[in-house]
Amino acid sequence: MSDLPSDSFAARYATEGFGIAHLPYGSFSTSDSDTRLGVRIGEHVVALTDLVSRDSDLFPLVDQPNLDALLTSDRPTWDRLRADLQSVLSSAADAERIASAAHPLAEVALHMPFTVADYVDFYGNEFHAANVGRIFRPEQPPLLPNWKHLPVGYHGRAGTIVASGTDVRRPHGLRPEADGVPSYGPSRRLDIEAEMGFVLGSPVPDGRVPLSEADNHVFGLTLTNDWSARDIQAYEYVPLGPNLGKSFATSISPWITPLAALDAVRVAPPARDTPLADYLDDAAERPWSFDVTFEVVLNGDVVANPPFASTYWTAAQMLAHMTVNGASLRAGDFFAGGTISGPEKNQRGSFLELTWGGEEPVALSDGSSFTFLRDGDEVTLRAEAAAEDGSTIRFGECTGRIVESPTD
Amino acid sequence: MSDLPSDSFAARYATEGFGIAHLPYGSFSTSDSDTRLGVRIGEHVVALTDLVSRDSDLFPLVDQPNLDALLTSDRPTWDRLRADLQSVLSSAADAERIASAAHPLAEVALHMPFTVADYVDFYGNEFHAANVGRIFRPEQPPLLPNWKHLPVGYHGRAGTIVASGTDVRRPHGLRPEADGVPSYGPSRRLDIEAEMGFVLGSPVPDGRVPLSEADNHVFGLTLTNDWSARDIQAYEYVPLGPNLGKSFATSISPWITPLAALDAVRVAPPARDTPLADYLDDAAERPWSFDVTFEVVLNGDVVANPPFASTYWTAAQMLAHMTVNGASLRAGDFFAGGTISGPEKNQRGSFLELTWGGEEPVALSDGSSFTFLRDGDEVTLRAEAAAEDGSTIRFGECTGRIVESPTD
């Protein structure tokens, strides 16, 4: 993109992280317009209907309130749309027209960018899984026997996935007590999980998406915070897994970064030390991890930098696994790769790990010490990646503030 | 309904189980019409648009391909619609017109009657949970410590809930082996779970549906078979619960029996022997169990008669639990109450239990003995209940046939 005309819209309005090499999609509304699909350049959003010709076969897919219609389409269509957007945004001839149609971000409201079909949350990071094992099951090996043979995951609640900026009400539930009789009340161990989310499309009614097909079904990526009430979760989760400890809220960034924007940061996942079934064996496949480091920001303090590339299982493996039994893939299916942690203490993507089960409080810049989330606390996830043209890609932020839950 | 005119449509066309006191809803199409919402009388289905006046405010809710719009509505609307349908179907004056609009069931195709939002599968039957505990964890007490304190459940895959009659492909996945290294291939322990499903509506964005409000959100009931690959499930389920062992298919009857049709069989659940948190304490509430006995039919043989009233946790408790953390309730949310088993061996609602983990084969009338499902096997769930007018209500059947999965 070195030939970007200096008087094009992209050249004039791009900011670091949101240039022509990024172009994340989102759903926005203004005070005088309904919700529309848009693309972000710098601190502006432009409706896709202002960038795609009415004569184009792409127009019906983008003349929409969100990505749902586009997700029913396919990789060649997604690539063609991105190329068209890059072309028009780079054109000097269109710059004035686009500038007059663009909306400053400060003047728009952002919404959930797609309708979530099914949501699967994986547990794909070895450092996280081993930390959790050490904290909860100190007498056992940190990883359970199945962990290196398949990407462990479970279905979460699609209906409570919310866009960044939505307040998160502290959940009530049954909390474990020393006498074995649970108490009912607000969670005392409210936590985050810093994760990468993957938005899926190009439906496969009979399932079975092999590793080699993952590029055709992963539309884009988004920062994801899978809020977790550790006390509720700990009491309920045997034997059928997490339920109310997770189902109250999962926040995602309203900006979906196209998969195609991340080619420059594709890297191989950690070395595999356990032989895999053929459908999971990615030794000969295109690398499917991403060199993206998160920032976990608590009330303005950066408290952790989880490195996504430390995740053992890749998104391609997760997709192959969740469909290998014949389960259909629908447009709008969504999965997250699991809490991201690295080998260092400041790389842990949950407060459960950062404070080692609440036993090692973290000092904050305001002089307080911290274990689990308090009412009023605000958590923001950020992440950056290198683009192919040498610029930077900034993922859209994922923010949520904890508010008191209503009394009973 | 003793005053039903003998020349009304209902009187002329009702059959045992499908009379004026039942009126289940379904989605149907014919060779020359699109999919429409209908109601069943006997062996006929009538489009709701042929029964509700175009001038009625109910018309837009029923002029639909399925129940989705009606589920966004509320209990008073649902009751008013049912009263209107009972009135017109009982009217002698309308009988000829309705008869000319009715379709014999043999000439229609039935479809999924609603779009599933989120699906939660509970584990609410004590006999089933204890049997599973004895089979899988013989060295431990049969029930886990949390079981009597909350209705244990997990989120299933909404996208693979299918209407009765849809073939079920045997899933592939990782199966446990004696040497600890799983093998990949078709499930060898494919099973059923005979359950009652509950279709929900009247959305509650902030969750928290108290026991006393359950009547306002349970639209109807449907027989549900949560197909389960016991080998895949056993290998994957620690620590996050079932995933691929369940996510390939769940079958439901295409006929949704209105909650209001079941008043005569409302019964108290089994006696509670453990004090409950206030939000689950139903001692002072309307009874929320149902005296409905299932038939599990394998290739024509009735192999079990699970009694739904043996289920420890009620649908009202499940609904209160799944929303007590603030999780929203959406129109089209769906839950199943868990595999139904009773104290007797022939009351067990899964082959895992009927054959005690595969160790005690069941003899079939064709001379074969049976443990888990073979390709070509067909399982049908049936159930009956008494209606208030002394007639019988037959739930719509839930059938599925196992077919070989494609080779890799």
pLDDT tens digits for A296-328? 999 999 999 999 999 999 999 999 999 999 999
Q: Any catalytic annotation for residue B128?
A: yes
DSSP letters for A184-195: EEE-SSEE--EE
**Cα nearest neighbour of A184 on chain B:** B277
Query: At residue A261, does pLDDT exceed 60?
Result: yes
Q: Where are the domains of chain B?
A: 9-111, 119-403
In this predicted model, what pLDDT tens digit does every residue of A19-30 receive, in sequence order?
999 999 999 999
The single-letter code of the amino acid at B105 is L
Q: What's the CA dihedral at A143, A144, A146, A150 to 10 degrees?
A: -40
B150 CB neighbour count, 10 Å cutoff: 25
Looking at residue B75, its pLDDT comes to 98
The token duo for A389 is 């043209």
Residue B293 CB burial class (10 angstroms; 0-12, 13-18, ≥19): middle
Q: What topology does CATH give the domain A119-403?
A: Fumarylacetoacetate hydrolase; domain 2 (3.90.850)
**Going residue by residue through chain B (408 aa), what tens digit of pLDDT does each one get?**
456 888 999 999 999 999 999 999 999 999 999 999 999 999 999 999 999 999 999 999 999 999 999 999 999 999 999 999 999 999 999 999 999 999 999 999 999 999 999 999 999 999 999 999 999 889 999 999 999 999 999 999 999 999 999 999 999 999 999 999 999 999 999 999 999 999 999 999 999 999 999 999 999 999 999 999 999 999 999 999 999 999 999 999 999 999 999 999 999 999 999 999 999 999 999 999 999 999 999 999 999 999 999 999 999 999 999 999 999 999 999 999 999 999 999 999 999 999 999 999 999 999 999 999 999 999 999 999 999 999 999 999 999 999 998 765
Contact A150 B182 (CB under 8 A): yes
Substitution target in B140, B325, B329, B334 with the highest count of A β-carbons within 10 Å is B325
d(CA A116, CA A154): 16
Report pLDDT for A1. Answer: 47
User: Which of B128, B240, B278, B404 best probes binding to A when mutated, by most A CB atoms within 10 angstroms?
Assistant: B240
CATH fourth-level superfamily of B9-111:
Fumarylacetoacetase, N-terminal domain (2.30.30.230)
Residues of A in contact with B155 (CB under 8 A): 154-157, 243, 247
Residue in A44, A111, A128, A321 annotated catalytic: A128
Nearest Cα residue in chain B from A149: B182
Return the pLDDT at A407: 65
The token duo for A206 is: 């009979």
The shortest CB-CB distance from B232 to any of A156, A247, A325 is to: A325
Dump the DSSP string for B40-53. EETTEEEEGGGTS-
**H or E element, residue A100:** helix A95-101
Is there a cis peptide before residue A239, judged by omega within 30 degrees of 0? yes
Question: Do B244 and A321 lie within an 8 Å CB cutoff?
Answer: yes
Residue with tokens 């958590």: A379
Contact B171 A144 (CB under 8 A): no
Give how far the C-alpha of residue B403 lies from the chain's centroid of Cα atoms, to the nearest Å: 22
Give the per-residue pLDDT at B1. 47
Q: What is the pLDDT of residues A30-69, one digit of tens each?
A: 999 999 999 999 999 999 999 999 999 999 999 999 999 9
Q: Hey, are the CB atoms on A327 and B408 less than 8 Å from each other?
A: no
Q: Chain B residue with minimal CA distance to A327?
A: B248
Catalytic residue among B44, B103, B111, B128: B128
CB contact under 8 A, B149 and A182: yes
User: Is the CB of A248 less than 8 angstroms away from the CB of B326?
Assistant: yes
Distances (CA, A) of A271 to A252, A267, A312: 29, 12, 8
CA distance A288 to A293: 15
Using CB atoms, pick whichever of B118, B145, B206 lies closest to residue A159.
Answer: B118
By the 8 A CB rule, do A193 and A161 touch? no
Contact at CB, B159 and A333, closer than 8 angstroms: yes
Query: Which amino acid, one-letter code, is at A306?
Result: P
